[in-house]
């Protein structure tokens, strides 16, 4: 079965300003790489669709939707980091709606998972605020659709962007039907995401942050994924896995301070593919978040797509090598904290 893709030149029409790192160039380079990717013949590009108001209102306030709609046709600055151009509102609607449709295609077994290569990104957008380059929280909109429209009860969101997805966490912090797992550099923008934030109310125990010091690479990330994320996620038993796939933890990225390689990203994708095969075959869908070295991002995306489809030998080698690295202390602390909510976990 084909892997699904959301990709179109229209996502280059969002331009937050000259010299902004979240630039159309990110997807220009991506398109060039995809054009010669050997796996392209086994992929299916889905048509685009704009998100409807009721779909966005599941996670955003009416005031937020009105504020973003008011930017249509003009360039604006929503905060010091987040700008729009005349077509940004239109493009943001397409990003959110097309991700929903990619998830639905996976549910209908029309594709075996996939990736939405869309802009603007989404995981910093809160219910009432655009921030951190993000207008609508694409992944939260998709998760809410799966819960409320498709009747799923357990959606896992994995966020490996170098920045914590504060907006996604805010939206689902009290929700037991979404487990949010994030690895991120700390300290770093937006300054959120401590290990102690585990959710609240019915959602207590369904939020797991893994803040990491700068300088961590493939081996540490893969130990965290295999020794912490995987055992917790297996107890959650996801019916669908969504990934905020930011590539700004790459060693060549200008905004982050991490040392992940293309193979490291592929290794994390391979772990998630195994989890998906175990609990929800074909229901692993990723959406693009950060990644500000276009060439490094393009290489990493292709490595991830290979890991999701036919496998990627370098990812397997990187995973084997990670076993030679002592587990970081945060794994034990994370297991101890989650052990209060999930049986059978031990630090």
Q: Tell me the catalytic residues.
A: 124
> Cβ atoms within 10 A of the Cβ of 30, count?
22
Angle, helix 313-322 to helix 262-279, in steps of 10 degrees: 90
Q: Are 255 and 291 in contact (CB under 8 A)?
A: no
| Cβ neighbourhood burial of 87 (10 Å; 0-12, 13-18, 19+) | middle
Residue 288 to residue 277: CA distance in whole angstroms = 22
Q: What dihedral angle (degrees, nearest 10) is formed by the CA atoms of 130, 134, 136, 141?
A: -130
Rounded to 5 degrees, what angle do the CA atoms 108, 12, 168 make? 55
Where b means 16+ CB within 10 Å and e means fewer, 225-257 reads: bbbbbebbbeebebbbbbbbbbbbbbbbbebbb
The dihedrals phi and psi of 205, each to the nearest 5 degrees, come to 95, 0
DSSP strand pairing (240-245 vs 155-159): parallel
How many CA atoms does the CB half-sphere of 254 hold within 13 Å? Answer: 7
The dihedrals phi and psi of 284, each to the nearest 5 degrees, come to -120, 110
Residue 113 to residue 134: CA distance in whole angstroms = 24
Q: Are 248 and 163 in contact (CB under 8 A)?
A: yes
DSSP state of 103: H
The dihedrals phi and psi of 207, each to the nearest 5 degrees, come to -140, 125
How many CA atoms does the CB half-sphere of 59 hold within 13 Å? Answer: 34
Residue in 299, 221, 224, 237 with CA at minimum distance from that of residue 33? 299
């Amino acid at each position: 079965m084909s892997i699904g893709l959301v990709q179109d030149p229209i996502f280059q029409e969002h331009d937050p300003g000259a010299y902004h790192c979240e630039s159309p160039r990110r997807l220009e380079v991506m398109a060039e790489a995809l054009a010669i990717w050997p796996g392209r013949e086994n992929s299916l590009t889905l048509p685009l669709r704009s998100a409807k108001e009721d779909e966005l209102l599941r996670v955003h306030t009416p005031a937020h939707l009105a504020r973003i709609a008011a930017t249509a046709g003009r360039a604006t600055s929503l905060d010091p980091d987040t700008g729009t151009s005349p077509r940004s509102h239109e493009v943001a609607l397409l990003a959110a709606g097309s991700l929903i449709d990619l998830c639905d295609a996976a549910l209908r077994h029309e594709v075996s998972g996939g990736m939405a290569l869309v802009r603007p990104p989404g995981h910093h957008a809160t219910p009432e605020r655009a921030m951190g380059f993000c207008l609508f929280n694409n992944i939260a909109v998709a998760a809410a659709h799966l819960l409320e429209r498709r009747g799923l009860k357990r959606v896992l969101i994995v966020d490996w962007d170098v920045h914590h997805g504060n907006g996604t966490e805010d939206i689902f912090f009290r929700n037991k039907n979404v487990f949010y797992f994030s690895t991120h550099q700390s300290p770093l923008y937006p300054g959120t995401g401590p290990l102690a934030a585990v959710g609240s109310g019915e959602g207590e125990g369904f939020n797991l942050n893994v803040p990491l010091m700068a300088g961590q690479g493939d081996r540490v990330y893969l130990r965290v994924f295999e020794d912490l994320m995987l055992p917790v996620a297996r107890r959650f038993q996801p019916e669908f896995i969504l990934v905020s796939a930011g590539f700004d933890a790459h060693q060549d990225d200008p905004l982050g301070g991490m040392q992940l390689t293309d193979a490291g990203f592929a290794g994390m994708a391979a772990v998630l593919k195994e989890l998906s095969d175990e609990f929800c075959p074909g229901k692993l869908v990723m959406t693009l978040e950060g990644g500000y070295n276009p060439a490094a991002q393009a290489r990493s995306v292709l490595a991830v797509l290979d890991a999701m489809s036919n496998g990627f030998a370098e990812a397997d080698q990187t995973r084997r090598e990670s076993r030679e690295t002592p587990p970081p202390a945060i794994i034990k602390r994370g297991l101890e904290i989650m052990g209060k909510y999930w049986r059978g976990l031990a630090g």
